[in-house]
Each structure stands twice: as structure tokens, then as C-alpha cells.
Chain A
Amino acid sequence: MSETPPDTTDRAAASATSAAIDMEAWVCPAPLRDAPNILLGHGGGGAMSAELVEHLFLPAFGSAADAGMGDSAVLQVGTERLAFSTDSYVVKPLFFPGGSIGDLAVNGTVNDLAMAGAQPMALSTAFILEEGTSLAELARVARAVGNAALAAAVKLVTGDTKVVDSGHGDGVYINTAGIGLVDRRADIRPQRARTGDAVIVSGDIGVHGVAVMSCREGLEFATTVASDSAPLHGLVAAMIETGADIHTLRDPTRGGVGATLNEIARAADVGISLNERALPIPGAVRDACGLLGLDPLYVANEGKLIAFVAPEDADRVLAAMRAHPYGRRATLIGGCVAEHPGMVVARTALGGTRVVDLPIGEQLPRIC
């Protein structure tokens, strides 16, 4: 029995003048759907997050919303196109192997702009701080933000600071918003992915998520894995420079490669066939996932991107990526197919098939 997402455009229009949330628009009206609170899973980057946007935010915004559902919005300004994106960073702990919330805050938004084919021009930084946060720790975070911006050659041009009551745990939340100029040659959107496209990942997957998990309370383990947070606009520029027809770019953050491929498959109404054996998964990531019972396909990445490229250009793009420091292990991992539109199916190492579904909420360690 296949499940098709409801047509959100119609519903958004229908509830444009109503402030009430249309619960009937949820996928299935089962008892537990009636939860009146936000759950952690809503932030997981999976189906719950998507539903929150589709069924709460968009209808509430009504006709004011103009959501293309990509990582960035692209706005026409005269003859130029401006990419505009925002993201918030709530990671705990603030510092982890290979990086910090500061790196993520800069690189994350730089990358959202890069995924639209834009070079970042400027970022804003807004801090929400828990009363009682150590100033020394905040200074460490701020230095990390500055260093990351320097490394990414992007300016920090404006910002804000707010303080909230203590007792809400995490100390520091950062929101960054960024603007950038879209390369004139680029027409990069999720909807452009089509049958025949080559699906390429820029390097090893599962790295960031494992690095962060290794210092989470209740899960701690020792590992050499360090976060791969990195700004990717240089890599994207090199890819565009080849003249190749790049259809779609996305960085597989929350929800991992699995979530990202599903989002694009649905947005473009195309099937994706994945070659499990081709996935570049470092041994240490595999081991950590094996220990906790996690699937590397759903583990978050930071300094990585997925590209959907016209098949005749795949080799060219791969060569350009591998010549760049952030694309050394770029790999062809699959392709778009006409079968099973909207679904991602992997050919397992054994030759069987398995559906790679959109994760529901947060992926949790299991014992079973």
C-alpha cells in the first residue's frame, strides 16, 4: 500500500485565512497524532520535521509563505540572483571532537547558500544564551565562530544577543542567516533531479554524528572520529567551473544521507537507486554504528554534499571534486530511476534490495 503525501498547496490556500491548524491534513488520524506538544523528533530532520512544516507552519503562514523547500531561498534582484538562508544550532555538547557549535553555525549556513550554487557574502549571528553560561566558554564559542568565518572567507556583518532564564540546559543557541550571490551558470534546485542523473557524495559519511555521539551522556565511547564540519562553497565553485549540468545539491545534515535522498526523491518525484557497496563509510564510523545499532545512512554529516548531475557530466564533476581538499573521496553512489518515484531503494551488498525510508524522528541507539 503506497502512501502519497497530501497536496499541501491546496490545503495551504484553503487555510490561508484561518488560524486553526487543520488536523485532518495530517497523514493519518491515529490517536497518538493528537499530541499537543513538540517532541524531540520534530527536530530530527525526518518525517516529523517535514510534517511540522507542511501541516503547521505553512498553513499558518498562509499566502505569505513562498517556500520552495530547498536549503536556501533564491530571490531575483535585478539581473542577479541572491541566495538567502537561515539555520539554528542547538548542538550539545558545545565542543566535540573536531569542532564546536561555532564551526557548525558558520559552515552550516555557508553550505546552505552553496547548495543553491551561491558564494556566501555575509552572515548574521544571533545568540540566545542561558543565564549563568560561563563567559569563558562563550568566548571560546565566539572565537570558533570568528575563525570559521575567516576560513570560509565570509563576513560577519550583524548580530544580536538575548539571554533566557537558566534551567533550560544547553547554554548557547546560535542562529545564523546568510546571503550570497548565485553563480549565473547555476540552476540548482531539488526539483531538477531527473531520471538518469548520477548521484554523487563528496566524501565519507556518518562522521559528524558519530563524533558528537561519542561524548553524549549515557553513550560515551572513545573514538578517533572527529567532526567533518567544513565550508563547501569552494568545492561547489570548482564543480560549477567544469561547465557540467548540476541539477541538485544538498548537504546531508540531520537525518543523514537517507533523509536527504528521500527529500529530493519526493521533491523531484523521481526514484533513487543506491548502491550500498559504494557508500564511503569509514571503519570507525561503521564500528561505532555497529556498537550502538545505528544505520550510517541516517547519521548526520557536516562538511559533505550530495550532487545530482547529468549522467554525461558525472566523470568530469567527480574529477573536479577529487582535486579539491573537501572532495578527495567523492564517490558515485547511485542514480535516479523511473521506477518507484519518490522512494529510495538500495541494492544491498548481498544483492538484495531494501527500501531506505525517511527516518521518523531521531535515530536512537537500540539493543534489539
Chain B
Amino acid sequence: MCLAVPGKILRMEDRDGMLMSVVDFGGVQKDVCLQYIPDAQVGEYVVVHVGFAIQRLDEESAVQTLADFERLGVLEEEFGDGFELAARQAGMTNPEGAATGNGNSEVLR
């Protein structure tokens, strides 16, 4: 259902009224339909599933998420106790820090 990979848009063109592109996946390039991301720009990263870009890849989120993972161990050192850490995090609205308007859709009752 869900094999989708991130790639970088190299160039775009109209083909039969559809917005098509060549996307680079590291070393491999493939034709990808951009019709669902009509305002896509060359150089942007998109998530591609069966030849279609289904969503933009938010680079800032990617970087942030990796940084959050790096910090996990550090937090533990600060608090000293894994269980205590978990308890604290459970009581927090967003354990990993700032919630931006950028797609973090955690919903509280």
C-alpha cells in the first residue's frame, strides 16, 4: 500500500495536459506525475508513489525530527530516569518541543 520514496524534481513539462516531471531519487531518475502538487518547483523534494507525487516532503520537519531523535539520549541524561522521563513526556502536550503550524496535528480532548 505504501511504498513511497522521496525524490528531487529535476525538470517539469506538460504532457497531454498533465504536469509531468523527471524526479531524481539519489542515483535513479524516473518520470513522475506532479498533477497533485501543481505549484511544485524544480529543486523541491516530493514523496512519490507509483509514479505520482502524493505530498511535498517537508525538509524542515525532516531535519527537526532527526534532531529530536538525537536529543532523546540527552534528555535522559538530564532527567536521569527513563521512567520519569516518560511520565513527564506523557504529561506534556508535545514532548518534542515546539508545535508549528506545519502539520503536527496532535489533537487533545
| Residues in chain A within 8 A of chain B (CB atoms) | 214, 220-225, 283-284, 286-288, 290-291, 293, 366-368
Contact A288 B27 (CB under 8 A): yes
Decide if B89 is an interface residue (CB 8 Å cutoff).
Answer: no
Give the shortest distance, in Å, between B30 (CB) and chain A (any CB): 4
A291 in contact with B27 given A367-B3, A367-B50, A368-B3 (CB within 8 Å): no
Question: Is the beta-carbon distance between B27 and A368 smaller than 8 angstroms?
Answer: no
**Known interface pairs A290-B5, A368-B2. Does A284 touch B28 (Cβ–Cβ under 8 Å)?**
yes
> Shortest 8 CB-CB distances between A and B: which pairs?
A284-B27, A287-B26, A222-B29, A221-B30, A287-B28, A293-B3, A288-B28, A287-B27
Complex Cα spacing A161 to B13, Å: 48
| Min C-beta distance of B27 to chain A, whole Å | 3
Contact of B27 among A220, A223, A367 (CB under 8 A): A223
Most buried by A among B1, B3, B27: B27
- Which B residues are within 8 Å of any A CB, using their own CB? 1-3, 5, 22, 25-30, 49-50
Q: How close is A215's CB to chain B, nearest CB, in angstroms?
A: 13
- Known contacts A367-B1, A367-B49, A368-B3, A221 near B27 by CB under 8 Å: no
CA distance A222 to B29 in the complex (A): 5
In the bound complex, residues from chain A placing their C-beta under 8 Å from that of B30 are 220-222, 291
Contact A222 B1 (CB under 8 A): no
From known contacts A367-B49, A367-B50, infer whether A291 and B28 are also in contact, taking CB-CB under 8 Å. Answer: yes
Contacts of A288 in B (CB 8 A): 27-28
CA distance A87 to B101 in the complex (A): 61
- Whether the pair A368, B25 counts as a contact (CB closer than 8 A) is no
Contacting pair A221 B29 (CB below 8 A): yes
B26–A368 contact, CB under 8 A? no
Bound: A366/B1 CA distance, A: 9
Smallest CB gap from A221: residue in B: B30
B1 touches A290 (CB 8 A): no
CA of A367 to CA of B25 in the docked complex: distance in angstroms?
16
